[in-house]
Chains A and B, each alone.
Chain A
Amino acid sequence: EVQVVESGGGLVQPGGSLRLSCAASGFTFSSYAMSWVRQAPGKGLQWVSAISGSGGSTYYADSVKGRFTISRDNSKNTLYLQMNSLRAEDTAIYFCAKAPSDSQGVTDYWGQGTLVTVSS
C-alpha cells in the first residue's frame, strides 16, 4: 500500500527555519517525482516545490524560491523541505504528494499533512 507521511511541522518564529520530512513506503521511491503543496488556513491549495525521481531536477514557486530547498534521500525513501527565512504567510498545512511517474504535473497520493505555524 502506498503511503506518504509528513513530519517536522511546528511553531517557529518569523525568520526562523524548519525542515519537513516525508517518509514514503509501498512503492519504488526513486522512480517517482514528488511534490510539496501547502494550504493556508481556510484557503486553497498552493504548490510549493517539486523534485524528479533522481533528485537532479528541482522546481519552486516564486514565493519560496531562494528560501526553501527540496531534496530527497532515495536510500531512506524520504523527501525533505528545508524552509529558511520563514514568514507569517508561510503558515499552512504542508502536504507531501507522489506523482504517478517521474514526470511533473500530477500527483496521485497525498499525505495527511503537517502544520507549520510562523508566529512570534
Chain B
Amino acid sequence: SYVLTQPPSVSVAPGKTATITCGGNNIGSKSVHWYQQKPGQAPVLVIYYDSDRPSGIPERFSGSNSGNTATLTISRVEAGDEADYYCQVWDSSRDHVVFGGGTKLTVL
C-alpha cells in the first residue's frame, strides 16, 4: 500500500518560515492535500491540489510537490499556526485515501 512519511515534529520561532515535508514514492505524480488540526477541533483544509489555497486561508500558507516529496510552507509563522498538519493523497491504484502520520508544529 502507498505510504506517506512526515516528520513527527517541527519547531519554528515566530515570524520565521516553517517547512513540513511529506514523502512518498513518486508523490509528484499525485495531487497532495494538506490539513491543519488544532487540539479538540476538526481538521481544516489549508492546501489542496498541491498548491491551491481554499478561501479564507492566509497567503502565508503555500505548497509544492515534486519527485518524492511534497512540502507545506508556512511563512511568517504565528502562534495561532501551532497545530498538527497532515498530508493526504488519493491512491488511484487501490481507490483509497492515504494520510501521512501527521506533523506537530510547535511555535517557540
Contact = CB atoms under 8 A, between A and B. Distances in A.
Interface string B62-106: 000000000000000000000010101110000111111110000
Contacts, number: 58
Contacts of A104: 90, 95, 97
Listed residue (A46, A105, A107, A110) with the most chain B CB atoms within 10 angstroms of its CB: A105
A37 B99 CA distance: 10
A106 B99 contact: no
A111 B45 CA distance: 12
Contacts of A44: 84, 86, 99-102
B44 interface: yes
Given A104-B90, A108-B48, A108-B54, A45 B99 contact: yes
A81 to B, nearest CB: 15
B95 A59 contact: yes
A107 B99 contact: no
A47 B96 contact: yes
Given A59-B96, A105-B90, A45 B102 contact: yes
Interface string B38-49: 000111110011
Interface residues of A, number: 21
Contacts of A47: 96-99
A59 B99 CA distance: 15
A104 B96 CA distance: 9
Nearest to A6: B42
A61 B89 CA distance: 14
Given A106-B48, A110-B43, A46 B88 contact: no
Interface string A6-43: 00000000000000000000000000000101000000
Interface string A65-97: 000000000000000000000000000000100
B44 A110 contact: yes
A83 B35 CA distance: 26
Given A45-B37, A47-B96, A108-B45, 15 more contacts: A35-B97, A44-B86, A45-B86, A45-B88, A45-B102, A50-B97, A59-B95, A62-B1, A105-B90, A106-B31, A106-B33, A106-B45, A106-B90, A107-B45, A110-B42
